[in-house]
Amino acid sequence: MSTDPFLPAPEHKFSFGLWTVGNPGRDPFGEPVRDRLSPVQLVELLGEVGAWGVNLHDNDLVPIDANASVRDGIVREFRTACVSNGLTVPMVTTNLFTDPAFKDGAFTANDQAVRALSVQKAMGAMDLGAELGAKIFVMWGGREGAETDGCRRPDVAIARLREAVNFLCEYSVANGYDYRIALEAKPNEPRSDIYMPTTGAYLGFIATLDHPELVGVNPEVAHEHMAGLNMTHSVAQAWDAGKLFHIDLNDQLVGRFDQDFRFGAANPKAAFWLVKFLEEVGYDGPRHFDAHAYRTEGYEGVKDFARGCMRTYLILKDKARRWRADPEISALVAGLAESSQAAPPVGRYSQGGAESLKLCRLDRAALGGRELRYEQLDQLTIEILCGVR
Ligand code: GCO
Ligand code: MN
Ligand code: MN
């Protein structure tokens, strides 16, 4: 029996995209460094490292030009491989960015034929996912953006996006698929600017849909960091709105190209706050790693990468437990929750409440003089993360 406390188990709901462990290491400056593995081989690799789920774009599994019988054969073989490797398919998505037809966007393209092709392809991906048992449908609009805003008015693009999402919600309901649709924001790359740059932008957009209850978000660490934002804050807003339908875990330094690093590789403290948040609120969706191995790696390195993502998550989960159990940290945190002066709660508005708030006498200078000890709180956090506490 292994005594390793950081081994992945199904209850952790760790998933990887076929495109993540299958990434061959091509970048804008260099050719692939790893041979492409088939979907079945990738499922075997994920089974070997102990993942729970495998996610896919339609064309990670079925080539874009495959006919119906080829498609059905591929899907059958893939399902068998998932069963024999103990993997579930929690999420599917559509690739609306690789094919040159989508070079100026998919749902937001000016050409109505491109928009029709995009919705047609997304419906096909929904059919495929339903066949594989997926309950989450991610939409990432990587090409839904612009280099020159002369190409279309951005509000027209948003209206087209709304039309497509509304249509696909109805399609999901009409076919009994019952997808939870998760919209994934990114500020740029591959387009110079993407119309829906942040998770917060999508939360605003969702409220304008015909079926807002079917639609949530899929925040990604790298995308929020590319925008210079705090991932945990974005996730918290999504959680508060009941919209955290999925999550893409990886890492990214601010101000760099889209790095897709192993979870926790670049900003372990930010990763810690994120894991702590997800565990404390009881997020019970998939923990999906949307990242890939360094270009220096072969398939042993890809396994190191995948195991590392899951292991880091579990280590940080344990650190969060230690953080909560630490007496000095608990005392500091408890102190922060105490009011330093007698004051009425704000609560819901009432005339009486407003009057008592207006009348209460508060010592503003004393409030400004209160010492908060956040230096100590953060240092203790760092000591936990560094393993000396
Ligand atoms: C990226 C995105 C994608 C999406 C994927 C699922 O930066 O390329 O994160 O990996 O998550 O296409 O929709
Ligand atoms: Mn990404
Ligand atoms: Mn992603």
CA-19 nearest atom, ligand 1: 10
CA dihedral 293, 298, 300, 305 (to 10 degrees): 0
CA-97 nearest atom, ligand 1: 12
Q: Note the pLDDT of residue 3.
A: 87
Find residue 145's DSSP bridge partners.
194
Name the closest ligand to CA 17: 1
Residues with a known catalytic role? 57, 60
Residue nearest to atom 3 of ligand 1 (CA): 140
The CB of 186 under 6 Å from ligand 1? The reply is: yes
CA-20 nearest atom, ligand 1: 10
- The CA 166 to ligand 2 mean position distance, Å, reads 24
- The domain spans of the chain are 10-322, 326-386
328 is written with which tokens?
């000095």
Question: Ligand 1 pocket test: which of 140, 144, 260 has the largest number of ligand atoms within 8 Å of its C-beta?
Answer: 140
- The CA 288 to ligand 3 mean position distance, Å, reads 9
- Is the pTM above the cut of 0.95? yes
CA distances from 382 to 66, 221, 328, 342, 376 (A): 52, 20, 14, 34, 10
- The CA 262 to ligand 1 mean position distance, Å, reads 15
* Per-residue pLDDT in tens (0 to 9) along the chain, 389 residues: 678 999 999 999 999 999 999 999 999 999 999 999 999 999 999 999 999 999 999 999 999 999 999 999 999 999 999 999 999 999 999 999 999 999 999 999 999 999 999 999 999 999 999 999 999 999 999 999 999 999 999 999 999 999 999 999 999 999 999 999 999 999 999 999 999 999 999 999 999 999 999 999 999 999 999 999 999 999 999 999 999 999 999 999 999 999 999 999 999 999 999 999 999 999 999 999 999 999 999 999 999 999 999 999 999 999 999 999 999 999 999 999 999 999 999 999 999 999 999 999 999 999 999 999 999 999 999 999 999 99
- The CA 291 to ligand 2 mean position distance, Å, reads 7
Name the closest ligand to CA 19: 1
Cα–Cα distance measured from residue 389 to residue 385, given in angstroms and rounded to the nearest whole number: 8
- The DSSP result for 147-207, as a single string, is S-TTSS-HHHHHHHHHHHHHHHHHHHHHTT--PEEEEE--SSSSSSEESS-SHHHHHHHHT
- The CA 140 to ligand 1 mean position distance, Å, reads 6
- The DSSP result for 192-237, as a single string, is SEESS-SHHHHHHHHTTSS-GGGEEE--BHHHHHHTT--HHHHHHH
Listed residues: CB within 5 A of ion ligand 3: 220, 248, 290
Cα–Cα distance measured from residue 274 to residue 309, given in angstroms and rounded to the nearest whole number: 14
Residue nearest to atom 5 of ligand 1 (CA): 140
Please check whether residue 244 is in contact with residue 217, taking contact to mean a CB–CB distance below 8 angstroms. yes
Q: Note the pLDDT of residue 1.
A: 61
128 is written with which tokens?
């495929």
The closest of 215, 240, 68 to 139, measured between CA atoms, is: 215
The contacts found for 362-368 with CB under 8 angstroms, 24 or more apart, are 366/340, 366/341, 367/340, 367/341
The CB of 140 under 6 Å from ligand 1? The reply is: yes
68 is written with which tokens?
């119906």
343 is written with which tokens?
């004051």
Cα–Cα distance measured from residue 72 to residue 84, given in angstroms and rounded to the nearest whole number: 18
Cα–Cα distance measured from residue 181 to residue 172, given in angstroms and rounded to the nearest whole number: 9
The CB of 21 under 6 Å from ligand 1? The reply is: no
7-42 b/e (C-beta count within 10 Å ≥ 16 → b): ebeeebbbbbbbbbbbbebeeeeeeebbeebebbeb
Give the CATH fold of the 10-322 domain.
TIM Barrel (3.20.20)
Please check whether residue 289 is in contact with residue 319, taking contact to mean a CB–CB distance below 8 angstroms. no
- 300 half-sphere exposure, CB direction, 13 A CA radius: 0
Cα–Cα distance measured from residue 22 to residue 39, given in angstroms and rounded to the nearest whole number: 8
CA-93 nearest atom, ligand 1: 13
Q: Note the pLDDT of residue 303.
A: 98
Cα–Cα distance measured from residue 197 to residue 263, given in angstroms and rounded to the nearest whole number: 21
Cα–Cα distance measured from residue 223 to residue 240, given in angstroms and rounded to the nearest whole number: 20
Question: Ligand 1 pocket test: which of 263, 290, 292 has the largest number of ligand atoms within 8 Å of its C-beta?
Answer: 290
The position carrying tokens 């506490």 is 389
- The CA 367 to ligand 2 mean position distance, Å, reads 43
* Eight-class DSSP state of 26: -
CA-189 nearest atom, ligand 1: 7
